Structure 1
Amino acid sequence: MESDNVILALAALAQSTRLDVFRLLVKHAPEGLAAGDIARTLAVPQNTMSSHLSVLSRAGLVSAQRFSRSIVYRADLARFRAVVLFMLRDCCDGRPEICAPLIESLTPCCQPKPKRKAQTHV
C-alpha cells in the first residue's frame, strides 16, 4: 500500500461523523446499510451524509452497491486491514519488540469465538 492511500484513509477517518459511519458499517458487516438508514441512525441530514460517504468511498474504506432506489454501503475491511498493517509494518520497521505489544493488546478483543462441539448422546 502506498503512503498516499494510507494518508487518504486516515484523513477520512479523522472526522467524527465519518469515523462513526465507518464504525457503524463495521458493526453491520458484511450486510451493510442503506444510506438513509445510516443517516437516520446517526441523526445526520441525508445530503451531509452523502458527502461523508463520498469521502469514505474515495478513501476506499467503504463500497457502495445500488439496489433499486437505495444504495447500500459496506465497510471495506480488507482495505482497513491493509491500512493498519501498513502502519504496523512501516512504523515498527520489522522490530518485534515494538510490534508485539501492539498486536498482543488487540488479541483479547479480537479472538474468534470457539466453535461448540456437537454433543453426542449415548
Structure 2
Amino acid sequence: MKIEFSDQLSTLGHPLRLAIFRLLMRRYPDRVPAGEIASALGIKASTMSTYLSALARDQLVEKQRVGTSLLYSINMTTVQHLFGYLFKDCCRGRPNICMPFSTGADPMSDRKYNVLFICVGNSARSIFAESLLRAIANDRFNAYSAGTRPGSQLNPFALQVLMDKGHDISALRSKDLSEFSHIDAPHFDFVFTVCDQAANEECPAWEGQPVSGHWGMPDPVKVEGTNAEKALAFQRAYGALKARIESFVALPIESLDRISLQKSVDDIGRIGPNDGT
C-alpha cells in the first residue's frame, strides 16, 4: 500500500500522536511496550492503541509481538523519506530557509569533544559512563553526567564498583540537568541517555544540535536480593557501558559526516547488556 506524505503529516498533526512519535524517536532504536508509552505520556491504554494503530497504518512506527506484548519502534526508513521530502522537495534543499542547523554533510572538526550522559537519578549508570569515558579517552573527550531528578547521594554499590576498577571518585557527585542549561555551561557535541525513563521525558533542545543517542539499559538500583546479587547487577551495568564506550571511542569521529556518525551512535545503542565484561 502506498502511503502519501500528506497522510503521514496529517497523522502527526494530532498532538498526542505527535507526542508518541517524539518519544519513540528519543528511544530509537529501542522497541518499547505500548504500556510503557501510555504510562510515560499519561494516555489511557485503549486510546493509546488507537493512536499507535494510526501511526503503524502510515508506516511511521513498526510493531512486533514478543510473547504477549506488542513492542513499537520508529520505522526509520519511512521517517527518513518523510523528512527528505520536507527538506528536498518543499524546501528545495535550502538549509538557510528550512533548517535551523547544519545537515551534517561535513565531518566534525578534530578537537576535544564534550559528552553528556543523562539518566534520572545520576547515581549509577550515568556516573559509570562519565567515569569510563574519562578513564578511557580523557585526552579526546570531556565527560559530564547529570540527572533529570537526581538524588543527594551516589549509589554506594556504584561507588564500590568504581573504586574496585581503580577510578578516582573524589570529584563525582549527583548533578541536576539544569546545571548545564545556563549560559556558561559547556557546549556539548554528544548527549546520551543511558536509562529509558530519562529518554521518555521531554528535555530541552541543546544548543548547536549535538549528536544524540539512547543507550538505555536495565537499572541496577532496582535489583532486589542479597548484597552479592545487587553488586553483580552493578558490575553488569558497568561492563555493558564499558563495551559501548569503547566502541564509541574507537569511532573515527573526525572523518565521519554527521549522518554516518549518528548511525554509528545508534548502532552502539544496540550493543546488548550481556556484551560487556
- Alpha carbons of structure 1 residues 47 and 104: separation in structure 2 relative to 1, 3 Å: closer
Match among 103, 106, 110 for residue 101 of structure 2? 106
| Secondary structure of the structure 2 residue equivalent to 1:72 | strand
Unaligned runs of 5+ in 1: 118-122
| Number of equivalences | 111
SS of 2:64 mapped into structure 1: strand
> What SS does structure 1 have at the residue aligned with 2:72?
strand
Match of 1:61 in 2: 60
Aligned to 1:86: 85
**Closer, same or farther: CA 79–102 of 1 in aligned 2, 3 Å:** farther
Using structure 2 for the length normalisation, give the TM-score: 0.37
Q: How does 1:1-122 map to 2 (within 5 A)?
A: 5-93=4-92, 99-102=94-97, 105-107=100-102, 108-109=208-209, 111=211, 116=249
Which has a greater percent of helix?
Answer: 1
Distance 2:27 2:212 in 1: 17
Question: Which moves more between the two structures, 75-84 or 42-51?
Answer: 75-84
5+ long unaligned stretches in structure 2: 103-207, 214-247, 251-277
Instruction: Specify the code of the residue in structure 2 equivalent to 1:82.
Output: H
- Name the counterpart of 1:120: none
CA distance in 2, matches of 1:72, 1:44: 16
Structure whose CA Rg is larger: 2
| Structure-2 change in CA distance of 1:102 and 1:33 (3 Å) | farther
In structure 1, what residue type is equivalent to 2:95?
Answer: A
Q: For residue 17 of structure 1, report the CA deviation from its aligned partner.
A: 0.6
State, as a whole percentage, how many aligned pairs show the same letter: 27
Hey, which bits of structure 1, 4+ residues long, moved more than 2 A? Answer: 102-108, 110-113
TM-score, normalised relative to structure 1: 0.78
Structure having greater relative contact order (Cα 8 Å, sep ≥ 6): 1
Query: How far apart in 2 are the matches of 1:22 and 1:112?
Result: 17
